[in-house]
Structure 1
Amino acid sequence: MTSAQESRGGAPVGFITDLDSIEAAAVIYLRLWSDGPDSRQAVLNDFAASLGRVQGAKAVQGFEDLCRTCAQYGRRPLMRHSVHCKCLGSDESCFANFIATATTGDRNDAMLIATLLVRPDVAPLITSLAADFGLALKRMKLRAPKFYGSGAKAPHAQPTTLH
């Protein structure tokens, strides 16, 4: 991947606060999931606390399948910002829009967006996973972390993120 491709995928296009609750949660959970085992456990704990142990684990398993499939069949690695960054990268924006569109049941548009993320033959699979994940997010009582609404400065990049 060239640095131009990296910068396009991570280019800031807005702020987390510009998103609705489903879209913001999708981006925040993507960032957390990509941040390592401790953050993945935090995602599982959050879903279990909101949906119950069984339903929470089922939702997280679907999200793990979604992330793994995107990584395995992606056109390129999804660029992301650090967990606490207030910026919204272009890949993150696409992911948020994809989850939101799949959640509303607009399968054709969701599959079209999916082709921006993965090979076309994988689009139906990740669209189904995205719809399930988005519906789990809808069942949760979503609130943005305190950091996102404050005037606090975002921390600098971790090695695997932009900023």
Structure 2
Amino acid sequence: MSAPSPRGGAAVGRLSDLSPVEAGAVMYLRLWSEGAGGRADAASDFDIALGADHGRAATLTLDRLCSLCAHHGRRPLVRHGLECACLGADENCFAQMIAAASEGAREDAMMMASLIVRPDFAPALASLSEELGFALRRMTAAVPMPTTGHKTPSAVLH
């Protein structure tokens, strides 16, 4: 019998089940979590797809959003590795928050943000989610979401 997944890490689906914006949100969360190399790869994707100015803005938004989750989260977000096709429960909540915010469903985005961070930080997280969601929508209209060839670090679930 294998050990149970940490809270939030249980597979609830597959990345292929998500919309491009949702899948992009998960992939960029995973990249950001990889550290400096992954963040540089995300910045490069944003620059290529959105141009230098909008790319820098999207990179800054991703950094603020993920930093907010990391520093003010109710608990650490559990993520799967870059190469993993599974979608974890925390990743799904994150993706749904970004998608809802980008569609103008602010109350839904706030509800999901309050599941991720302390209630006093939920409005900021929902606002950043909207910004990132808009950037991902512009990217998916221009080019398909990237697939990366990164190795899975040992600190992730799969």
Match of 2:156 in 1: 161
List alignment gaps of at least 5 residues for structure 2.
none
Please report the RMSD computed on the Cα atoms of aligned residues, expressed in angstroms: 2.0
List alignment gaps of at least 5 residues for structure 1.
148-154
- Indicate conservation of the 8 Å contact 2:98/2:130, yes or no: yes
- TM-score normalized by structure 2? 0.90
Amino acid at match of 1:41: A
User: Number of residue pairs matched?
Assistant: 153
- Indicate conservation of the 8 Å contact 1:6/1:79, yes or no: no
Measured in 1, the distance between the counterparts of 2:67 and 2:4 equals 21
- TM-score normalized by structure 1? 0.88
- Indicate conservation of the 8 Å contact 2:45/2:146, yes or no: no
Q: CA deviation at 1:8?
A: 2.5
Pair 1:53–1:74, CA change in 2 (3 A)? same
Measured in 1, the distance between the counterparts of 2:26 and 2:6 equals 18
Match of 1:74 in 2: 73
Measured in 1, the distance between the counterparts of 2:64 and 2:85 equals 26
Amino acid at match of 2:144: R
Runs of 4 or more off by more than 4 Å in structure 1? 144-147
Pair 1:5–1:112, CA change in 2 (3 A)? farther
Pair 1:102–1:124, CA change in 2 (3 A)? same
